[in-house]
Structure 1
């Protein structure tokens, strides 16, 4: 999973912050508000610059959030306190190597972070999440659907301009590999500052449920990110899983 985000860290919130915050509010935060009946410990997977951590801190201040990401640059840029950082790969952080297994009431992952995992890595992530959760604890995450990756973004190219920077995005659905490739290019004054390629994958809800069940989690609910309804063709779904 060759995604560094070292370059992206400094400009991530400039271009993605508003959309990410709204996604967290509509999705994970809304469901945690129903599930959390008091103080609790939360592990945020693929936390990046800690946008989700801050949203949860504002809306659900009784929850203590620990941020896990493979990029220390992203965590530091977001001023996530060192005591609340875990720097490791979200695909394999199982208890037994100094990780506090069974310590968390909730494991969350927002703004399509799990879409960056191919199916075998997604299985490892879910297994690690189950290990991190206490019995009866919940995993809550949003997940982009095949529709948005293979149809809406099948051949999409556009640019955004903010604070003198231009971010160009080129999305391509690679049918032969069943994945989406996005090339991000940041420039200023016509000079290219950096370019990164991101790969996203998708599994259908039935397969995701099977993988979760095989790793000790069962599905409690699946809904569209912006409502209580469920539609297979929606752009993003919100999943709630529970450790047995």
Structure 2
């Protein structure tokens, strides 16, 4: 099995905020010369949203979905000093350190369920993945999908793994399914769920899951309010994902019933 490799780059230029996102992500230029959409550790859901974004994105890539390259991005303190907008200034100040970037897909367009194309297998994989990672934010109102070069790309998994906002009760989620799948934007197109579930089970081995979780920066797992150590959190993400995969037949049935 090939191990995933995540590059680390430095932010060299803040270009513009993307105000359609609640957390005010921004387009930035990095030290490798490429443009990225930067997700800030200092935004609303903080480092936990970056963890969700990272795990969800790499799981999506592992099952064969299109995902922009994810990189770790160093942001230094100089950017907040030259930013005139106070809201952005605070965001930059609170985000010094390691953040997450998604390769910027220039001229991509937001997926529109009324006109955009999404094939049955891709739709089925995305729906099941979102059920596995408990992603509450891929709805008609906010699709978090892009069409780029006539292909469907998965972005914005930051609203997944909501159990990690309260570690004292996270084990309660091990036995649950995901009824909110009924609101998924691709539900009607997901007509190959059985076939997709086999691909997912084969792609997401325990080694693959452990490899992805091992790449979460230690710094993102340290919060004063959390009762678990970074290692305990890593083990919790691994246990959660393995428990979801072990009940994938139930998730498939729940999805079919929702349709």
Q: State TM-score, norm by structure 1.
A: 0.27
Q: State TM-score, norm by structure 2.
A: 0.26
Query: When you count strand as a share of all residues, which structure comes out higher?
Result: 1
